[in-house]
A = this chain, B = another copy of it.
Amino acid sequence: MYIIVVGAGRTGSKVIELATQDDNEVVVIERDTELAEEVSVTYDCMVINADAASKEILLEAGIEEADALISTTENDSVNLMISMLGKQYGVENLVSSINDPQHIELFGDLGVNIVESPHELNGQYLYRAVQRPKIQDFMEIAGGAEIFELTVDEGAPIAGLSLSDADKDGLLPEETVIVAIVRDGELLIPRGGTDVQAGDTVTVFARNGANDRLTAAFTR
Contacts and interface: CB of A to CB of B under 8 A. Distances in A.
Nearest to A3: B130
Nearest to A131: B22
A23 to B, nearest CB: 12
Given A123-B12, A177-B189, A56 B205 contact: no
- The number of times this chain is found in the oligomer is 8
Contact of A14 (B80, B122, B175): B122
A76 B81 CA distance: 8
A186 interface: yes
Interface in A20-58: 22, 53-56
Interface in A144-188: 145, 147, 149, 175, 177, 179-180, 182, 185-187
Contacts of A93: 129-130, 133
Instruction: With a 10 A CB-CB cut-off, give which of A11, A93, A137, A175 has the most chain B CB atoms.
Output: A11
Contacts of A9: 119
Interface in A112-140: 113, 115, 117-127, 129-131, 133, 137-140
Contacts of A64: none
Contacts of A70: 126-127, 129-130
A70 B186 CA distance: 32
A15 interface: yes
The 5 A-B pairs at the shortest CB distance, nearest first, are namely A14-B123, A118-B118, A10-B119, A118-B122, A77-B77
